[in-house]
Amino acid sequence: MNNTHLWRALGRNTLISIVLFGALLGLLWLAEMIFPEVKLLKWHDPAWVVGIPASIIGVAYILTVRDPHNYTGFFAGLIMSVLLGIQFLLQDQYDSAFLFFFVFIPFQLMSIYKWSRKKDEGGASFEPKFLDTPRLFLSVALLGFITAGDLIINLYAAHGSLSLPEGWREGLALLLNGLLISSSFLANYWLIYRKTDSWIYWLIYSIAGIGLFIILGNVFSIVLFTFFLVINSMAGIAWVKATSKENLNWAKIFVK
Protein backbone atom coordinates (compact mmCIF):
# COMPACT_ATOMS: atom_id res chain seq x y z
CA MET A 1 0.00 0.00 0.00
CA ASN A 2 1.63 3.30 -1.10
CA ASN A 3 1.68 6.50 0.90
CA THR A 4 -0.64 8.35 -1.50
CA HIS A 5 -3.33 5.74 -0.88
CA LEU A 6 -2.85 6.07 2.89
CA TRP A 7 -3.17 9.87 2.81
CA ARG A 8 -6.25 9.63 0.62
CA ALA A 9 -7.81 7.32 3.20
CA LEU A 10 -7.14 9.91 5.91
CA GLY A 11 -8.73 12.64 3.77
CA ARG A 12 -11.75 10.45 3.04
CA ASN A 13 -12.19 9.59 6.71
CA THR A 14 -11.93 13.28 7.64
CA LEU A 15 -14.73 14.12 5.20
CA ILE A 16 -16.84 11.27 6.60
CA SER A 17 -16.27 12.60 10.11
CA ILE A 18 -17.25 16.14 9.08
CA VAL A 19 -20.48 14.85 7.51
CA LEU A 20 -21.30 12.73 10.57
CA PHE A 21 -20.72 15.60 12.98
CA GLY A 22 -22.61 17.99 10.73
CA ALA A 23 -25.59 15.64 10.90
CA LEU A 24 -25.20 15.28 14.67
CA LEU A 25 -25.06 19.04 15.25
CA GLY A 26 -28.03 19.48 12.91
CA LEU A 27 -30.08 16.99 14.93
CA LEU A 28 -29.16 18.71 18.19
CA TRP A 29 -30.09 22.11 16.72
CA LEU A 30 -33.44 20.63 15.63
CA ALA A 31 -33.97 19.22 19.14
CA GLU A 32 -33.36 22.70 20.58
CA MET A 33 -35.89 24.18 18.16
CA ILE A 34 -38.54 21.64 19.19
CA PHE A 35 -37.70 21.80 22.91
CA PRO A 36 -36.45 25.36 23.61
CA GLU A 37 -35.88 24.59 27.29
CA VAL A 38 -33.22 22.02 26.38
CA LYS A 39 -29.81 23.62 25.75
CA LEU A 40 -27.54 21.19 23.90
CA LEU A 41 -25.35 23.50 21.81
CA LYS A 42 -23.06 25.81 23.80
CA TRP A 43 -21.50 28.11 21.24
CA HIS A 44 -20.81 30.69 23.97
CA ASP A 45 -18.44 28.26 25.74
CA PRO A 46 -14.87 28.44 24.28
CA ALA A 47 -13.99 24.97 25.62
CA TRP A 48 -17.06 23.46 23.97
CA VAL A 49 -16.26 25.19 20.67
CA VAL A 50 -12.67 23.87 20.71
CA GLY A 51 -14.04 20.41 21.48
CA ILE A 52 -16.00 20.26 18.21
CA PRO A 53 -13.00 20.21 15.80
CA ALA A 54 -11.14 18.04 18.33
CA SER A 55 -13.94 15.47 18.16
CA ILE A 56 -14.20 15.65 14.36
CA ILE A 57 -10.46 15.09 13.95
CA GLY A 58 -10.53 12.43 16.68
CA VAL A 59 -13.13 10.39 14.80
CA ALA A 60 -11.10 10.74 11.57
CA TYR A 61 -8.10 9.48 13.56
CA ILE A 62 -9.99 6.41 14.82
CA LEU A 63 -11.49 5.65 11.39
CA THR A 64 -8.02 5.81 9.84
CA VAL A 65 -6.13 3.68 12.36
CA ARG A 66 -8.94 1.14 12.07
CA ASP A 67 -6.62 -0.04 9.31
CA PRO A 68 -3.62 -1.37 11.29
CA HIS A 69 -1.30 -0.42 8.44
CA ASN A 70 -2.28 3.24 8.04
CA TYR A 71 0.01 5.43 10.13
CA THR A 72 -1.31 8.70 8.64
CA GLY A 73 -4.12 8.70 11.20
CA PHE A 74 -1.63 9.65 13.89
CA PHE A 75 -1.05 13.03 12.23
CA ALA A 76 -4.74 13.67 12.89
CA GLY A 77 -4.13 12.30 16.39
CA LEU A 78 -1.46 14.97 16.94
CA ILE A 79 -3.88 17.77 16.07
CA MET A 80 -6.59 16.16 18.20
CA SER A 81 -4.24 15.97 21.20
CA VAL A 82 -3.31 19.66 20.92
CA LEU A 83 -6.97 20.72 20.68
CA LEU A 84 -8.06 18.51 23.56
CA GLY A 85 -5.19 19.82 25.69
CA ILE A 86 -6.39 23.37 25.02
CA GLN A 87 -9.98 22.37 25.79
CA PHE A 88 -9.01 20.89 29.16
CA LEU A 89 -6.95 23.99 30.01
CA LEU A 90 -10.02 26.13 29.34
CA GLN A 91 -11.99 23.85 31.68
CA ASP A 92 -9.29 24.03 34.39
CA GLN A 93 -8.75 20.26 34.14
CA TYR A 94 -4.99 20.46 34.44
CA ASP A 95 -4.40 16.72 34.91
CA SER A 96 -6.05 15.93 31.57
CA ALA A 97 -4.32 18.88 29.85
CA PHE A 98 -0.91 17.63 31.10
CA LEU A 99 -1.74 14.14 29.82
CA PHE A 100 -2.54 15.33 26.30
CA PHE A 101 0.36 17.78 25.96
CA PHE A 102 3.14 15.76 27.59
CA VAL A 103 2.05 12.13 27.13
CA PHE A 104 -0.31 11.73 24.19
CA ILE A 105 1.59 13.97 21.77
CA PRO A 106 4.83 11.97 22.32
CA PHE A 107 2.74 8.77 21.99
CA GLN A 108 1.43 9.95 18.62
CA LEU A 109 4.95 10.75 17.42
CA MET A 110 6.17 7.33 18.56
CA SER A 111 3.26 5.69 16.74
CA ILE A 112 4.11 7.48 13.49
CA TYR A 113 7.70 6.27 13.79
CA LYS A 114 6.76 2.67 14.61
CA TRP A 115 3.86 2.28 12.18
CA SER A 116 5.68 3.83 9.23
CA ARG A 117 8.26 1.05 9.45
CA LYS A 118 7.50 -2.26 7.77
CA LYS A 119 9.28 -4.41 10.36
CA ASP A 120 9.71 -4.38 14.13
CA GLU A 121 13.11 -4.43 15.86
CA GLY A 122 13.46 -8.18 15.45
CA GLY A 123 12.87 -8.01 11.72
CA ALA A 124 9.43 -9.61 11.94
CA SER A 125 6.40 -8.22 10.16
CA PHE A 126 4.76 -5.55 12.34
CA GLU A 127 1.24 -7.02 12.56
CA PRO A 128 -1.62 -6.62 15.08
CA LYS A 129 -1.25 -8.82 18.16
CA PHE A 130 -2.96 -9.36 21.46
CA LEU A 131 -0.80 -8.99 24.56
CA ASP A 132 0.81 -12.04 26.10
CA THR A 133 -0.61 -13.06 29.48
CA PRO A 134 2.02 -11.38 31.75
CA ARG A 135 1.63 -8.05 29.93
CA LEU A 136 -2.14 -8.41 30.08
CA PHE A 137 -2.03 -8.61 33.89
CA LEU A 138 0.47 -5.73 34.04
CA SER A 139 -1.79 -3.62 31.84
CA VAL A 140 -4.86 -4.31 34.00
CA ALA A 141 -2.84 -3.45 37.11
CA LEU A 142 -1.76 -0.15 35.50
CA LEU A 143 -5.38 0.62 34.71
CA GLY A 144 -6.24 0.32 38.40
CA PHE A 145 -3.11 2.17 39.56
CA ILE A 146 -3.59 5.17 37.26
CA THR A 147 -7.31 5.36 38.05
CA ALA A 148 -6.59 5.32 41.79
CA GLY A 149 -3.80 7.89 41.39
CA ASP A 150 -6.05 10.30 39.52
CA LEU A 151 -8.80 9.80 42.12
CA ILE A 152 -6.36 10.65 44.94
CA ILE A 153 -5.09 13.76 43.14
CA ASN A 154 -8.61 15.05 42.50
CA LEU A 155 -9.75 14.31 46.07
CA TYR A 156 -6.86 16.36 47.43
CA ALA A 157 -7.53 19.13 44.93
CA ALA A 158 -11.23 19.28 45.77
CA HIS A 159 -11.30 18.46 49.51
CA GLY A 160 -7.71 18.59 50.78
CA SER A 161 -7.94 15.01 52.03
CA LEU A 162 -8.54 11.43 50.89
CA SER A 163 -12.04 11.33 52.36
CA LEU A 164 -14.67 10.49 49.76
CA PRO A 165 -17.45 13.00 49.08
CA GLU A 166 -20.69 12.43 50.96
CA GLY A 167 -22.75 12.20 47.78
CA TRP A 168 -22.24 9.03 45.76
CA ARG A 169 -22.65 10.90 42.48
CA GLU A 170 -19.57 13.08 43.03
CA GLY A 171 -17.49 10.10 44.14
CA LEU A 172 -18.57 8.04 41.13
CA ALA A 173 -17.87 10.98 38.80
CA LEU A 174 -14.31 11.25 40.17
CA LEU A 175 -13.81 7.50 39.72
CA LEU A 176 -15.11 7.55 36.14
CA ASN A 177 -12.91 10.55 35.35
CA GLY A 178 -9.90 8.56 36.55
CA LEU A 179 -11.00 5.61 34.43
CA LEU A 180 -11.26 7.91 31.40
CA ILE A 181 -7.65 9.00 31.88
CA SER A 182 -6.22 5.55 32.61
CA SER A 183 -8.05 3.80 29.76
CA SER A 184 -7.11 6.50 27.21
CA PHE A 185 -3.48 6.33 28.39
CA LEU A 186 -3.32 2.56 27.87
CA ALA A 187 -5.26 2.71 24.61
CA ASN A 188 -2.82 5.23 23.15
CA TYR A 189 0.22 3.38 24.52
CA TRP A 190 -0.72 -0.05 23.15
CA LEU A 191 -1.60 1.46 19.77
CA ILE A 192 2.07 2.37 19.40
CA TYR A 193 2.92 -1.34 19.33
CA ARG A 194 -0.17 -2.38 17.31
CA LYS A 195 -1.72 -4.34 20.17
CA THR A 196 -5.34 -5.28 19.53
CA ASP A 197 -5.94 -4.84 23.28
CA SER A 198 -5.84 -1.07 22.73
CA TRP A 199 -9.41 -1.22 21.43
CA ILE A 200 -10.58 -2.84 24.66
CA TYR A 201 -9.33 0.26 26.46
CA TRP A 202 -10.99 2.53 23.90
CA LEU A 203 -14.29 0.75 24.68
CA ILE A 204 -13.71 1.24 28.43
CA TYR A 205 -12.99 4.91 27.69
CA SER A 206 -16.25 5.29 25.75
CA ILE A 207 -18.39 3.55 28.39
CA ALA A 208 -16.78 5.51 31.24
CA GLY A 209 -17.43 8.74 29.34
CA ILE A 210 -21.10 7.88 28.87
CA GLY A 211 -21.44 7.14 32.60
CA LEU A 212 -19.58 10.29 33.64
CA PHE A 213 -21.67 12.62 31.51
CA ILE A 214 -24.92 10.96 32.55
CA ILE A 215 -23.97 11.92 36.12
CA LEU A 216 -22.98 15.44 35.03
CA GLY A 217 -26.15 15.81 32.96
CA ASN A 218 -24.28 16.80 29.79
CA VAL A 219 -26.57 15.54 27.00
CA PHE A 220 -24.24 16.55 24.15
CA SER A 221 -21.32 14.61 25.65
CA ILE A 222 -23.54 11.58 26.28
CA VAL A 223 -24.44 11.55 22.58
CA LEU A 224 -20.79 12.16 21.62
CA PHE A 225 -19.42 9.28 23.72
CA THR A 226 -22.19 6.97 22.50
CA PHE A 227 -20.98 7.87 19.01
CA PHE A 228 -17.40 7.08 20.08
CA LEU A 229 -18.56 3.73 21.47
CA VAL A 230 -20.00 2.73 18.08
CA ILE A 231 -16.90 3.91 16.15
CA ASN A 232 -14.47 2.25 18.58
CA SER A 233 -16.46 -1.00 18.48
CA MET A 234 -16.28 -1.05 14.69
CA ALA A 235 -12.52 -0.41 14.77
CA GLY A 236 -11.99 -3.06 17.44
CA ILE A 237 -13.86 -5.69 15.41
CA ALA A 238 -11.77 -4.79 12.35
CA TRP A 239 -8.57 -5.27 14.35
CA VAL A 240 -9.67 -8.61 15.78
CA LYS A 241 -10.38 -9.81 12.24
CA ALA A 242 -6.95 -8.56 11.13
CA THR A 243 -5.16 -10.42 13.95
CA SER A 244 -3.80 -13.75 12.78
CA LYS A 245 -4.42 -16.94 14.73
CA GLU A 246 -0.82 -17.16 15.95
CA ASN A 247 -1.02 -13.62 17.36
CA LEU A 248 -4.15 -14.10 19.50
CA ASN A 249 -2.13 -14.95 22.67
CA TRP A 250 -4.42 -14.61 25.72
CA ALA A 251 -7.48 -13.97 23.52
CA LYS A 252 -7.31 -17.33 21.75
CA ILE A 253 -9.77 -18.85 24.25
CA PHE A 254 -12.35 -16.19 23.25
CA VAL A 255 -11.69 -15.58 19.55
CA LYS A 256 -12.40 -18.39 17.14
User: Are residues 94 and 172 both part of a single domain?
Assistant: no
- Lowest-pLDDT range, 35-39, 79-83, 135-139? 35-39
User: Are residues 87 and 7 both part of a single domain?
Assistant: yes
User: Are residues 115 and 216 both part of a single domain?
Assistant: no
Residue range of the domain that includes 151? 129-256
User: Are residues 120 and 147 both part of a single domain?
Assistant: no
Of 126, 160, 177, the one marking the end of a domain is 126
Asked if the model's pLDDT at residue 188 lies above 90, the reply is yes
Please give the average per-residue pLDDT across 82-88, as a whole number: 94
- Lowest-pLDDT range, 39-53, 111-125, 239-253? 111-125
Please give the average per-residue pLDDT across 126-148, as a whole number: 95
Of 75, 108, 126, the one marking the end of a domain is 126
Asked if the model's pLDDT at residue 63 lies above 90, the reply is yes
User: Are residues 41 and 104 both part of a single domain?
Assistant: yes
User: Are residues 58 and 163 both part of a single domain?
Assistant: no
Q: So what's the pLDDT on residue 168? A: 72
Number of domains in the chain: 2
Asked if the model's pLDDT at residue 100 lies above 80, the reply is yes
Q: What mean pLDDT value characterizes the chain?
A: 90
Of 79, 107, 126, the one marking the end of a domain is 126
Q: So what's the pLDDT on residue 160? A: 65
Asked if the model's pLDDT at residue 154 lies above 90, the reply is no
User: Are residues 19 and 114 both part of a single domain?
Assistant: yes
- Lowest-pLDDT range, 86-90, 124-128, 180-184? 124-128
User: Are residues 18 and 56 both part of a single domain?
Assistant: yes
User: Are residues 204 and 136 both part of a single domain?
Assistant: yes
Q: So what's the pLDDT on residue 78? A: 96
User: Are residues 119 and 1 both part of a single domain?
Assistant: yes
Q: So what's the pLDDT on residue 25? A: 92
Q: So what's the pLDDT on residue 186? A: 97
Q: Convert the pLDDT of each residue in 7-57 to its tens digit.
A: 999 999 999 999 999 999 999 899 999 988 888 888 999 999 999 999 999
DSSP secondary structure letters along the chain: --HHHHHHHHHHHHHHHHHHHHHHHHHHHHHHHH-TT-----TT-HHHHHHHHHHHHHHHHHHHHTSTT-TTHHHHHHHHHHHHHHHHHHTT-HHHHHHIIIIIHHHHHHHHHHHTSSB-TTSSB---BPPPHHHHHHHHHHHHHHHHHHHHHHHHHHHSSSPPPSSHHHHHHHHHHHHHHHHHHHHHHHHHTTBTTHHHHHHHHHHHHHHHHHHHT-HHHHHHHHHHHHHHHHHHHHHHHHS-GGG-GGGGGT--
User: Are residues 104 and 140 both part of a single domain?
Assistant: no
User: Are residues 68 and 185 both part of a single domain?
Assistant: no
